[in-house]
Structure 1
């Protein structure tokens, strides 16, 4: 009986002692006082040393458990990469089959900030574009591109240009336009107006001033070379019936007015006419007479060239003046129709152009520097455009419309493309970005994260009751085992006491 009582008493004492020790780890939660005197072992060990314990646990976890290397290794694990890749593929697949627009997804992502961000984006893009195109670099690029194209064009052979379909079309349109203008009377009006204007401007000039001297000189040389033909013409003219009648009438008037009537009765005008014509014809056969005739004609021509245009026009009735313009027009029109003057002019120009190797060579001959002129023209036009207040408004409207069309595009049309697995490409890009971030920046973020401090702060935030529940939940079996171990040890000690006393 003595041994049984010793075992029971020792077991109870050991059990109660360990149970009380475990309870005193957490309780009481707060300091207790009796009559203002602090009761020993209050509060419990864990509540009392909570800050120190939290700091020690945080340091232990940060230094030995969740180290930077451990976290980096975990973030770089195949499991994480596979999960990221699978998530990205799934999201891309959803977008490939989605009827939602880019704008719909942007609104979901940006929420209430969508309109503000969209407006800022439009404004920034417009400002950027305007700044770029106003810069000297843009002007130089445009000018360089146009100059290059012009240079390549000028290096072409005129034959290539003349044989092109574009040139043939232009030539055909020109001829058709001329024909239509002639039929419509537009050309006639312009020509008559031109003739009238020219006549008004040269009224005070003499014929000598408006007719080139070479023309008058050539005309005199022509008359001298044709003196024999002129003599024959005069001979034939004297024997024409109308001139014969006029000459005989003149002879009859002279005879009747200048001679005695008795003598005049014996003078026959026909006989005198025949004698005069025969004598004149005989004289016109001599070189000396022909030269004299030419000299007389030259003097008459010289006197005519000294006449003012206004003196000639004043002696022409208004109706005949109009008919002169009409006749000149008809002459020109007949030449256009019968001799194809325009066609011949074009052919002559084409032949002249074909004699040159390049178009640039043709322009150089007439003193034109096309490249330089185009560069100056473009620069002036671009400067004028950039100074225009409508430029920014126009660009803003254009960019706003383009951005809206882009935002209104359905996601499936953006992501879908036959023969392309976009999900694989996007996931590969995402993994590449993720890996680059982990390798280059993740360690900096982990250091900023300060795991030790986070754990310490989190533990300090716990209520003591909650910390007790966590520890008991984790180590309830072990704590129970310790409690019962105390009972066992107490029982052992209880049986050892009577055994040892029996030896004395």
Structure 2
């Protein structure tokens, strides 16, 4: 009885020992297999003989892994359709539009930078002084050209033909105006006094003869009235109009033949030019104009660009991106980029990458190997027991 119990106890220890050995073998085998996926990182040699199973599977097949990973990324991850669904959406377009408008307002449209600051940023310094100097140079050139044009040749050569024709056409109106003013003057008290003075001066200059004439006509007042009436008749006579009109027309014809320089010989050109320059500088005030911001000159710029510029630019950019997406991705050669990057990774990084994702699963595989090894040891023990009993 005791021998039987000892035998049974010995078999139980044997069974447990075989289960433990099976578990150790199964767990260690799986653990070694997992390690051999990555290690050793490079081939090991004994002399010239390369140790089998070195390097590990992944280091040995790194090129194939990198190539396959690149194809997987381009075929299933970073595809044109993925970019369209994730990036080229209406919501992303609105966000891009808002972002662009915000940056435009922050850095340009509502910025505190003056036009001078913008020009300095672009490398254009002292623009106001340079521009004023250039304006004065151009102005001097033009003024001298005008002076040369006006003082070279006769009036008819300087004045355009249209002006001369219009001036000649206005002579009848001028004649009518002169005669009208003359008639009004002679009818006025001022004109009457002027006639009386002229008669008195004339008679006084003639001495005795003048006194005799004065005695013959009586008081100078009556003589003034007679002269005044005769002058008015002369002014109203049709021939007077023709006479004055002809005189003015002839003088106009003579004037056209005269050199302009002769007519303007006493004209102060330098004074005129100085006045024009001063006026131009006063109106330009470029220093003050350039010391204002873009918002000062374009207060509605932000609203206008938000309506007419930003949406158009963003929509155009998204449309072009969508149309060129496939071509662009193909030109980028993402699969080659991924393959090159993976090939440059140290094997230790690849190992950490894979183990960081699947460390728990690998541990479970090791535990499962130990569990299966233990079960196999138990089965073997039972087989041994059955064999001994038979």
Tell me the TM-score normalised to structure 2 length. 0.52
Does the 8 A contact of 1:68 with 1:447 survive in 2? no
Residue 503 of structure 1: SS of its match in structure 2?
A: helix
Corresponding residue to 2:325 among 432, 442, 445 = 442
Q: Tell me how far apart the structure 1 counterparts of residues 345 and 314 of structure 2 sit (CA, whole Å).
A: 38
Corresponding residue to 2:109 among 74, 77, 96 = 96
Q: Tell me how far apart the structure 2 counterparts of residues 92 and 50 of structure 1 sit (CA, whole Å).
A: 48
Could you list the per-position Cα deviations for residues 124-169 of structure 1 after superposition, in whole angstroms to 9, with x for gaps in the alignment? xxxxxxxxxxxxxxxxxxxxxxxxxx9xx99xxx9xx97xxxx99x
Residue 37 of structure 2: SS of its match in structure 1?
A: helix
Residue 303 of structure 2: SS of its match in structure 1?
A: coil
Could you tell me how far 1:3 is from its partner in structure 2?
2.5
Residues 262-277 of structure 1 correspond to what in structure 2 (within 5 A)?
A: none
Structure 1: 5+ residue stretches without partners: 119-149, 177-334, 350-400
Q: Tell me how far apart the structure 2 counterparts of residues 484 and 344 of structure 1 sit (CA, whole Å).
A: 134
Residues 136-175 of structure 1 correspond to what in structure 2 (within 5 A)?
A: none
Residues 60-459 of structure 1 correspond to what in structure 2 (within 5 A)?
A: 60-94=72-106, 95-101=108-114, 104=117, 339=235, 344=241, 410-413=293-296, 416-417=299-300, 420=303, 422-459=305-342
Deviation >6 Å, runs of 4+: 340-343, 346-349, 403-408
Could you list the per-position Cα deviations for residues 49-73 of structure 1 after superposition, in whole angstroms to 9, with x for gaps in the alignment? 1111101111122122222222233
Instruction: Give the aligned partner of residue 26 of structure 1.
Output: 38
Does the 8 A contact of 1:415 with 1:422 survive in 2? no
Corresponding residue to 1:471 among 326, 342, 354 = 354
| Alpha-carbon distance change, 418 to 54 in structure 1, aligned in 2, over 3 angstroms | closer
Quote the RMSD (CA, aligned, Å): 4.5
Q: Tell me how far apart the structure 2 counterparts of residues 348 and 72 of structure 1 sit (CA, whole Å).
A: 88
Q: Tell me how far apart the structure 2 counterparts of residues 465 and 489 of structure 1 sit (CA, whole Å).
A: 30
Does the 8 A contact of 1:101 with 1:409 survive in 2? yes
Structure 2: 5+ residue stretches without partners: 1-12, 128-159, 183-230, 247-283
| Alpha-carbon distance change, 487 to 346 in structure 1, aligned in 2, over 3 angstroms | farther
Could you list the per-position Cα deviations for residues 469-504 of structure 1 after superposition, in whole angstroms to 9, with x for gaps in the alignment? 111112222222222222222222222211233333
| Alpha-carbon distance change, 442 to 5 in structure 1, aligned in 2, over 3 angstroms | same
Q: Tell me how far apart the structure 2 counterparts of residues 418 and 82 of structure 1 sit (CA, whole Å).
A: 20
Residue 9 of structure 1: SS of its match in structure 2?
A: helix
Could you tell me how far 1:456 is from its partner in structure 2?
1.0
Larger Rg: 1
Instruction: Give the aligned partner of residue 47 of structure 1.
Output: 59
Instruction: Give the aligned partner of residue 186 of structure 1.
Output: none
Instruction: Give the aligned partner of residue 197 of structure 2.
Output: none
Matched residues, number: 246
Q: Tell me how far apart the structure 2 counterparts of residues 39 and 100 of structure 1 sit (CA, whole Å).
A: 72
Tell me the TM-score normalised to structure 1 length. 0.41
Does the 8 A contact of 1:26 with 1:45 survive in 2? yes
